[in-house]
């Protein structure tokens, strides 16, 4: 059916919530011929969200707005390109307006931009009744960014390849405290400074779902190969990890390329107590979040 032959439509408005993620472990295996890095990671979406308002009406335009000074608007925003993909796929002309209210820190290792792109693909697919299958949406997402397919999967996953090869996994909905030190870390800079001259056995990490279900062992599975790069330049990362452990975390780790650090807590009560203690003592430029896995 040619969508352009449809009659004029009334404006459609909807608001969606776009979650962040944490990497419970992240191993970088080698640099591939396509200049991406082969990785192995377990990721869990968390209850920290950007709020995105979508509006669809008659016309032929895409507009992306965001009041955050570090987030590009218009065509330079990844959500714009996601909207182009959906409209192009179904051959439809519409005026699409996307207004992003950023709650996820920018450049923080939490996947906020990728999540916004994934939400745009899924939201427009539904609002336009496009009926694009999820596997095709994930293929579109992989062209936008390595983490985008993960957010379309909706749930914890073991990620391989450059992050787009996903296997759903069942792990506890952990209680987390997140601390963001208020500065931006470039993912490209971290990868460019990563030392891959490690022994082959150091690149192997056995994994099973029950490993993460055993709370007492969680600390030994919290591994991030990118952490050493970021810590070497920003000593705050190590300080934040120690702070979380001192406040009852079973383990603490930098997420993605950083600089956000998360602590894993055994229950909501202990996370709440740590949150209150940290809220009174943290530096003013730090951001503090109490969240759960989804």
Catalytic residues: 21, 147
What is the helix (H) or strand (E) element at residue 45, kind and residue range? strand 37-57
Q: Which residue, among 201, 188, 178, has the nearest Cα to 252 in the 3D structure?
A: 178
Residue 2 CB neighbours (<10 A): 8
Residues 191, 193, 198, 203, Cα dihedral to 10°: -20
Q: How many CA atoms lie within 13 A of 197 on its CB side?
A: 2
**Rounded Cα gap, residues 252 and 269, in angstroms:** 17
What is the helix (H) or strand (E) element at residue 274, kind and residue range? helix 268-281
Residues paired with residue 168 on neighbouring β-strands, in sequence order = 157
Angle, in degrees to the nearest 10, between helices 112-127 and 134-144: 140
Angle, in degrees to the nearest 10, between helices 78-90 and 112-127: 30
Q: Which residue has the tokens 């690149």?
A: 203
Q: Show the CA angle centred on residue 52, arms to residues 157 and 70, nearest 5°.
A: 90
**Rounded Cα gap, residues 51 and 69, in angstroms:** 16
Reading the block at residue 191, the tokens are 């990868």
Q: How many residues does the chain have?
A: 294
Q: Which residue has the tokens 């993960």?
A: 150
Q: Which residue, among 60, 101, 65, has the nearest Cα to 80 in the 3D structure?
A: 65
What is the helix (H) or strand (E) element at residue 22, kind and residue range? strand 12-31
């Amino acid at each position: 059916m040619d969508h352009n032959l449809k009659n004029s439509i009334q404006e459609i408005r909807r608001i969606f919530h776009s979650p962040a993620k944490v990497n419970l472990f992240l191993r970088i295996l080698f640099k591939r011929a396509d200049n991406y890095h082969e990785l192995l990671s377990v990721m869990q979406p968390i209850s920290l969200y950007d709020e995105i308002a979508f509006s669809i009406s008659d016309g032929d335009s895409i507009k992306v707005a965001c009041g955050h000074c570090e987030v590009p608007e218009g065509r330079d925003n990844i959500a714009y390109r996601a909207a182009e993909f959906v409209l192009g796929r179904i051959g439809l002309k519409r005026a699409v307006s996307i207004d992003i209210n950023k709650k996820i820190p920018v450049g923080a290792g939490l996947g906020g931009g990728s999540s916004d792109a994934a939400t745009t693909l899924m939201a427009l697919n539904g609002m336009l009744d496009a009926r694009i299958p999820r596997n095709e949406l994930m293929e579109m997402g992989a062209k936008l960014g390595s983490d985008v397919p993960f957010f379309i999967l909706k749930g914890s996953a073991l990620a391989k390849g450059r992050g787009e090869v996903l296997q759903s996994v069942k792990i506890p909905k952990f209680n987390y405290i997140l601390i963001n030190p208020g500065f931006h870390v470039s993912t490209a800079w971290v990868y460019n400074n990563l030392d891959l001259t490690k022994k082959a056995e150091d690149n192997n990490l056995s994994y099973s779902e029950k490993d993460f279900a055993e709370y007492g062992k969680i600390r030994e599975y919290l591994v991030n190969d990118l952490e050493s790069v970021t810590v070497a330049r920003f000593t705050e990362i190590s300080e934040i990890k120690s702070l979380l452990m001192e406040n009852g975390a079973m383990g603490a780790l930098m997420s993605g390329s950083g600089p956000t650090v998360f602590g894993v807590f055994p229950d909501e009560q202990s996370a709440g107590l740590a949150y209150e203690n940290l809220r009174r003592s943290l530096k003013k430029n730090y951001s503090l979040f109490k969240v759960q896995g989804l």
